[in-house]
Amino acid sequence: MSWNGRRVLVTGSEGFIGSHLVERLVEAGASVRAFVLYNSFNNWGWLEDLPPESSRSIEIFPGDVRDEGRVAKAAEGMDCVMHLAALIAIPYSYSAPASYVQTNVSGTLNVLNAALRHGTRSVVVTSTSEVYGTARFVPITEEHPLVGQSPYAATKIAADQLAISFHRSFGLPVSILRPFNTFGPRQSARAVIPTIMAQALAGRRDIRVGSTHTTRDFTYVKDTVEGFLRVAEVPEAIGHVLNLGVGREISVGDLVRRIGSVLGMELSIVSEDQRKRPAASEVERLCSDNSRARAVLGWAPRFSLDEGLALTAEWLRRNLGAYKDSIYNL
């Protein structure tokens, strides 16, 4: 299917994955309406860093997903809605759970209502592997139980269930993508890979992290973005949840050593209590089964962990000033 001329609304467009998605959609020929969180500085987040050739095909649409009327206006005339706007920092969700309910649950409800009202032909809702909680079996399939081990995860479970209910109740053409620990350029310092790299590139050799034994399944951002394009192209994905992950896990401790190898540095680890989740809230293990995405979307990850880490490090070296490496970023 061609993206030429297709009108696409991307919420959360100014963020990490969102900005990469907008850039890729423009490259594919789509006309993108970029829904960015309104602020008095008129700052468009990472969209500010896109090259001029990408920016010309982007309509900036400031607003807030918690505002039902503004979301409805943004969805008007769109062929496709890709919903990525969310509060995602797990530590902050312990302190401000109401904000997560308002943004992640009510915001998603506003997007679904807007798409239903305007007869949008394709809606993609972004989930997270955190909804599975600690793996009860690996690899984790889409049938794995959903366990909200943090307020963030609980709100994403609620958002996913709302999306599924709109498909079942009203026939809304919704698909849910469930990425496993996407990483790459532009990711915030609250994520583990940029926080490790930022500390190392700033000259620190004692890398401060939280728990070191937990495992994650890391997917490079360009692979995740291709999943978004594929899912909006495939009618068979409608009404389904699809994991996007590599299918390999690595512990945080081993990740520090892997990053040190990529950077050519000898790194040691300092585990700090303030960076650890409450014991019952910690997700100990995540490792994806991506066979549904492979079968339905024809999707497969192309970037190895080391390739993705090298590309991320190259970008971070040029943008280290954007990171506060000396503090714990919530």
The domains of the chain are located at 7-184+219-244
The confidence band for 53, taking pLDDT boundaries of 50, 70 and 90, is confident
Lowest mean pLDDT among 29-33, 178-182, 325-329: 325-329
Contact criterion met (CB below 8 Å) for 10 and 46:
no
| pTM exceeds cut of 0.75 | yes
Residue 330: pLDDT over 90: no
pLDDT value of residue 234: 97
> Residue 321 and residue 316: Cα distance in Å, rounded?
9
> Residue 283 and residue 88: Cα distance in Å, rounded?
15
The tokens for 195 are 């926080």
pLDDT value of residue 1: 72
The confidence band for 66, taking pLDDT boundaries of 50, 70 and 90, is very high
Residue 201: pLDDT over 80: yes
In the block, tokens 């700052």 appear at: 43
Q: Could you tell me if residue 300 is left (phi over 0), alpha (psi between -120 and 50 degrees) or otherwise beta?
A: beta
Residue 128: pLDDT over 90: yes
Q: Give the three-class secondary structure for 83.
A: strand
Q: Which CATH homologous superfamily contains domain 7-184+219-244?
A: NAD(P)-binding Rossmann-like Domain (3.40.50.720)
Neighbour count for residue 1 (Cβ, 10 Å)? 10
> Residue 41 and residue 268: Cα distance in Å, rounded?
40
323 is catalytic: no
Residue 214: pLDDT over 90: yes
